[in-house]
Amino acid sequence: MSIRGRRLPSVRSAATSPAARRVWALLVVFAISAVLMAPWAILSARATAQFGPHTAIVEVTASNILDVDLGPLGTIEMPLPQVPGPLGVHVQVEEIEADLSAVNKPSTMDDLSSDVQSYSLFFADPDAQIDRAVREVVRDVVFRDVVGALALTAAAAGLSVLVGRARRDEIRGRLRRRPKMTAGGIAAAAVVALVAGVLTWPSSPAPFEGDPLFAGTPLEGARVTGRFSSIVDRVGGTVVDYYDANEKFYAKALSNLNDELASEPAAMNALNPPPSSTSSPSPGGIPDPDETPLPNDIATFLIVSDIHCNVGMSRIIGRVAGARQVDAVLAAGDATMTGTPTEKYCVDSMTKAIPHGISKVWVKGNHDSAATVDEEKKAGVTVLEGKAVTVDGIRIIGDADPRRTIFGQGTKRVGKETVQSLSARMADTTCRAAKPIDLLLIHDPLAGAATTDKGCVPLQISGHWHRRVGPEQVGKSIRYVNSTTGGARANALTPGPLKMDAEMTLFRFDKSTGRALDYQLITVHPDRSVTIAPWKPVPGIAPGTVKKHDKVPEPVKSEGSGG
């Protein structure tokens, strides 16, 4: 091809140009280097993870054993038959005080016994923590392999430059004249490398018998060594009993939920007509629709709140979300008990249980922390931070609770903002919004008081009180307070079998108007039974102020304080 007498380079000639050949050569060297560096990358990989309440360093070994080093307490060892080849994992658990090794001291045993439930959180849903550790290790393996391959490629390129063009041409000429010798040399080098790897690769350990105490648990096949075996002998039965009770409780609750879902008539899920209202739209409000929307015009949300690290409820929440084919799960705060970094597995357990493709939206509660916010974001959750987001056509706004409640230490303000100033700021934001806001999702109901008093959103959904209120008109908007989805009550750790009703609520919205149409309550009871209530219409907004915001009620407190 030519333009005005000038010949353009063809694709073939461009691909075989000296520059292209150099690029291809570098890519080939990089690919070979990546393969050569893979064993080093795998066996040198390490990552930081959580082991129960402790920080741990995870490393890949060649032992085909999961080896958990508890320092002065001893070790936990278990085979890894599911791991390909002779690869294993070494976990170095940090922050274990040396005086815990004195297991025969009464004070130590008393402390251990009082913390049995807290340490047992690991056993309630270990998969979430294990999956996170695996992801971190794999990420480190890839990083090391790429860096190592780049280093080898750079070294090869540097050597090529040092040798010089004349010497490179001479070497290439000799290799081309003796192709069989070249291929044989490469094959011999590969065989030598393979034999050396086989001879130096550690042999698989001899099989061993696991402790029968762990039978039927995620640690089945494991054994303990050192002084930790004394702890297992004394409190291990209690931990296993707790795990057993927890598994049986939620397995039966899930079975009962499935039975209820299977037995409900199809007509039970028919759409309710839109709410009626004689009021004109308030600032930022939405006029009432005239017709019942078609199913394709409906957005379905599952509302949860105040789970407080009850990872046993994760499977229930995930099942409801999947069965109802919800568009999003909206969490109104308090995912954790204290918001410590060690509680990130609570976030993992919840997000992992929600079926793929379902959006997740969350707002920080007073029991959560900045660390919880970071973990939610890492898990792919949309965190509300004062700006409106659109989820399946519905505009949602919310912001973090300004307080921090720590178990045993009470509630303190995190910054300068109070619940009252947060309420005023949210009202200002929603009333001034360029596009109407459909839903205010805020942890404490009182943090939305100014917004609903002015009618700047048609609906507010909250948690925090650990009791259900509404939906009812408060001020010039509808307010709904979801009860605790974790079954959290005062003076008791939330994880484990339920001690009070655990509730979650489904809301259906008209996408064209943003108005909530109806809601359905699903309750898991302490006797493991499940109740699915009929769909009920969300009340319309009447003219004027129907009800003032309540004073702060006395909630069913969670973990000792704060709600």
**Mean pLDDT of the 19-45 span:** 73
Band (363; pLDDT cuts 50, 70, 90): very high
Looking at per-residue confidence, does 558 or 418 come out higher? Answer: 418
Gap between the Cα atoms of 46 and 41, Å rounded: 10
Ranges 437-441, 486-490, 500-504: which has the least confidence: 486-490
Give me the count of residues in the chain: 563
Q: Give me the pLDDT at residue 56, please.
A: 73
Domain membership of residue 4 (yes or no) is no
What angle (nearest 5°) sits at the alpha carbon of residue 560, between those of residues 554 and 562? 50
Same structural domain, 338 and 192: no
Ranges 299-308, 327-336, 341-350, 543-552: which has the least confidence: 543-552
Ranges 85-99, 306-320, 394-408: which has the least confidence: 85-99
Looking at per-residue confidence, does 536 or 285 come out higher? Answer: 536
Residue 117 has pLDDT above 70, yes or no: no
Provide the residue type at 407 as one letter.
F
Q: Give me the pLDDT at residue 539, please.
A: 92
According to DSSP, the residues that pair with 2 across neighbouring strands are 7
Q: What is the pLDDT of residues 42-88, one digit of tens each?
A: 777 777 766 655 677 777 776 666 666 665 555 666 666 555 566 66
Provide the residue type at 71 as one letter.
G
Q: What is the pLDDT of residues 233-267, one digit of tens each?
A: 555 555 566 677 788 899 999 999 999 999 888 76
Q: Give me the pLDDT at residue 530, please.
A: 96
Domain membership of residue 406 (yes or no) is yes
β-strand pairing of 2-3 with 88-93: unpaired
Q: Closest by alpha carbon to 406, among 283, 187, 248, 561?
A: 561
Q: What is the pLDDT of residues 171-209, one digit of tens each?
A: 666 656 666 555 555 555 555 555 555 554 555 555 555
Q: Give me the pLDDT at residue 338, please.
A: 83
Q: Which of 82-91, 113-122, 422-431 has the highest mean pLDDT?
A: 422-431
In this structure, the number of other CB atoms found within 10 A of the CB of residue 184 comes to 11
Collapse the DSSP code of 395 into the 3-class scheme (helix H, G, I; strand E, B; otherwise coil) and give the result: strand
Q: The whole model's pTM is what?
A: 0.65
Domain membership of residue 209 (yes or no) is no
Quote the tokens at residue 158: 């540097």
β-strand pairing of 459-462 with 469-474: unpaired
Band (435; pLDDT cuts 50, 70, 90): very high
Same structural domain, 305 and 195: no
Cα dist. 269→100, 261, 265, 516, 536 in Å? Answer: 56, 11, 8, 15, 10
Gap between the Cα atoms of 122 and 368, Å rounded: 19
Provide the residue type at 440 as one letter.
L
Quote the tokens at residue 423: 């309420």
Domain boundary among 200, 215, 246: 200
Same structural domain, 349 and 469: yes
Task: Tell me if 440 sits within 8 A of 420, measured CB to CB.
Answer: no
Q: Give me the pLDDT at residue 397, please.
A: 96
Q: Give me the pLDDT at residue 17, please.
A: 66
What mean pLDDT is reported for the chain?
75
DSSP secondary structure letter of residue 196: H
Quote the tokens at residue 531: 């109740």
Q: Give me the pLDDT at residue 456, please.
A: 92
Domain boundary among 200, 225, 242: 200
Helix residue spans in 54-164 (DSSP H): 106-114, 116-124, 126-163
Which domain, by its residues, includes 506?
300-537
Q: Please report the sign of the dihedral spanned by the C-alpha atoms of residue 335, residue 340, residue 341, residue 345.
A: negative
Q: Give me the pLDDT at residue 321, please.
A: 95
Domain membership of residue 308 (yes or no) is yes
Q: Give me the pLDDT at residue 105, please.
A: 45
β-strand pairing of 88-93 with 469-474: unpaired
**Mean pLDDT of the 26-54 span:** 71
Quote the tokens at residue 527: 């006797």
Residue 287 has pLDDT above 80, yes or no: no
DSSP secondary structure letter of residue 399: -
Residue 15 has pLDDT above 60, yes or no: no
Residue 109 has pLDDT above 50, yes or no: no
Contacts of 239 (CB under 8 A, 6+ apart): 116, 119, 120, 123
Number of domains in the chain: 2
Cα dist. 512→299, 433, 507 in Å? Answer: 10, 18, 15
Domain membership of residue 338 (yes or no) is yes
Domain membership of residue 251 (yes or no) is no
For residue 471, whether the previous peptide bond is cis, meaning omega lies within 30 degrees of 0, is: yes
DSSP secondary structure letter of residue 467: S
CATH code of the domain in which 493 resides: 3.60.21.10
Look at the block and give the residue holding tokens 């890839």.
142
**Mean pLDDT of the 519-527 span:** 96
Domain boundary among 166, 200, 234: 200
Q: Which of 143-157, 214-228, 506-520 has the highest mean pLDDT?
A: 506-520
Q: What percent of the chain stands above pLDDT 90?
A: 35
Same structural domain, 69 and 179: yes
According to DSSP, the residues that pair with 460 across neighbouring strands are 440, 479
Domain membership of residue 9 (yes or no) is no
Domain membership of residue 449 (yes or no) is yes
